[in-house]
Amino acid sequence: MRIHLVNPNTTRSMTEKIAAAARAVAAPGTEIVEATSTMGPASIEGHYDDALALPGLLAAIAQAEASGVDAHIIACFDDTGLDAARSLARAPVVGIGEAGYHFASLIAHRFTVVTTLSRSIPVIEANLLRSGLERRCARVRASEVAVLELEDPASDARARISEEIGRAVREDRAEAIVLGCAGMADLARALGETHGVPVIDGVASAVALAEGLVRVGLATSKSGAYAPPRAKAYSGRMADFAPTGG
């Protein structure tokens, strides 16, 4: 089984960290094929970054789809471009945000999401509504750690994230924590041991869901919302993205 894991930002070191977390939980025989977007922002923090990350993400999805991968994982907690990727791909596409929410709902009555910056809170809240799990989420909290701080060994990012988890357990009565950034993937186990509650990494969760979908033979439905895009002309810099069928 080959699973394509794409980082929609352009920071290669983050891709390597995410891929290591994915390989650590992948089943024997699962190959993780990682990719870093070749265009767009160095990190995704808010709606503007999210929009400009889409062309690079979709180019990576198209390339991996043509190579015959069995599933795709979008390694951004905002689930950047998830609907567009599902329209483009026939293989199943899993977002790490939705994967984390669903895993949390299976092991805890109430969970809290601890993310990076406050500007990400509305995006995550909207995604929780979309998934139907907003009532299970006690709160979405920001640690006020910029995404690229997670790549800096000298930063105090881990301590600030841990402090916010502590507040979530005390104040929200959270029974589990979902880490709200792919760049936090390497912190889950240690933070869970520190705080005595399950701490869920969306990357690991997405690998398990993608493997499961492939094993039971399920692919993205092409009836309705995720039907292939219709052929038409695209102009300017988007000309290379023009769909050819559907």
Residues with Cβ < 8 Å from 29, sequence gap 6 or more?
1
pLDDT value at residue 59: 97
pLDDT value at residue 153: 87
Residue 209 CA to residue 100 CA, distance in Å, equals 10
Name the DSSP letter for residue 194.
Answer: H
pLDDT value at residue 243: 86
DSSP string, 209-241: HHHHHHHTT-----SSTTPPPPP----GGGGGG
| pTM for this predicted structure | 0.94
Residue type, 145: V
Query: Chain-centre distance of CA 25, in angstroms?
Result: 16
Which positions of the chain have pLDDT values less than 70? 246
From the list 132, 104, 128, 116, the residue with the least C-alpha distance to 197 is 104
pLDDT value at residue 246: 61
**Can you name the residues that pair with 71 across neighbouring β-strands?**
3
Q: Residue written as tokens 């919302």?
A: 225
pLDDT value at residue 237: 87
Residue 170 CA to residue 175 CA, distance in Å, equals 10
Report whether 229 contacts 246 (CB < 8 A): yes
- Residue-wise pLDDT for 159-188, tens only, equals 999 999 999 999 999 999 999 999 999 999
Instruction: Please give the domain boundaries of the chain with CATH numbers for all domains.
Output: 2-96+205-241 (3.40.50.12500), 97-201 (3.40.50.12500)
